Homo-oligomer: A and B are copies of this chain.
């Protein structure tokens, strides 16, 4: 099934206790796309400046990612983010951020993408998320992410966006901040009351939580010793979730649970190296093996 993602496409520089990567490919839509493209072709909608290196284009094109919706704006500059991780790598410290092209007009969804059945609205201004979603004729599943900034300064617009989507994927801090609920199940139920059919709460190294009409289901993170750069873990998680769902017929509770395993596995690979180092040539078999490993690990009967 057709899967469209819109979000940031960036040039990152990242430092962690395990090293440094400078001017590497990054951005929410990019991490999502690499993960999701393991399952179905991905339609990428976003904008970059004319400084966007051709080899980054090549990396995306080589992975089943359709770049018809990638606007290259001459005279504009690509989004740039410089971040640093320390200690337990739990949280990124933003050293420098240049919105550049992201602060200009929204990218346009190409007409031939209007029939997309699965849509992921990676973190951006919630009004923009609605404008982008409105360009999709009849999505079967639409999921959005968000960030602390919009919860703070654009709460009403964000709530409006939440009433329009089928699902929400956000992290634990955002869920608490958005809802004022400390307990994550209560926080997720608060979001469900706004309209979405399901909420997935990402908890980083502590796994994820799914809350839907079927009740809550929790999953631990893949128990990994190899964590070099957590950048993109959350978007890779979303990519695994939506990529898997777009490859299935069912969208019911059990499918959402299985999707959460695929998201968990996608994230576990993303963090093993800087940028897309681990996932850019990752064979699908390695994903399937790790999914099987997770499912076996989580069999307790």
In the bound complex, residues from chain B placing their C-beta under 8 Å from that of A219 are: 220, 298, 300
In the bound complex, residues from chain B placing their C-beta under 8 Å from that of A298 are: 219, 298-300
Chain B residue with Cβ nearest A225? B185
- Within 8 Å of chain B (Cβ to Cβ): is A57? no
Tell me the complex Cα distance, A219–B299, Å. 10
With an 8 Å Cβ cutoff, the count of chain A residues facing the other chain is 32
- Within 8 Å of chain B (Cβ to Cβ): is A227? yes
Chain B residue with Cβ nearest A88? B182
Copies of this chain per assembly: 2
B223 touches A261 (CB 8 A): no
In the bound complex, residues from chain B placing their C-beta under 8 Å from that of A300 are: 219, 257-258, 260-261, 294-295, 298
- Within 8 Å of chain B (Cβ to Cβ): is A216? yes
In the bound complex, residues from chain B placing their C-beta under 8 Å from that of A295 are: 300-301
- Known interface pairs A182-B87, A183-B225, A183-B227. Does A297 touch B218 (Cβ–Cβ under 8 Å)? yes
In the bound complex, residues from chain B placing their C-beta under 8 Å from that of A183 are: 225, 227
- Within 8 Å of chain B (Cβ to Cβ): is A207? yes
- Within 8 Å of chain B (Cβ to Cβ): is A197? no
Tell me the complex Cα distance, A209–B298, Å. 12
Tell me the complex Cα distance, A89–B216, Å. 20
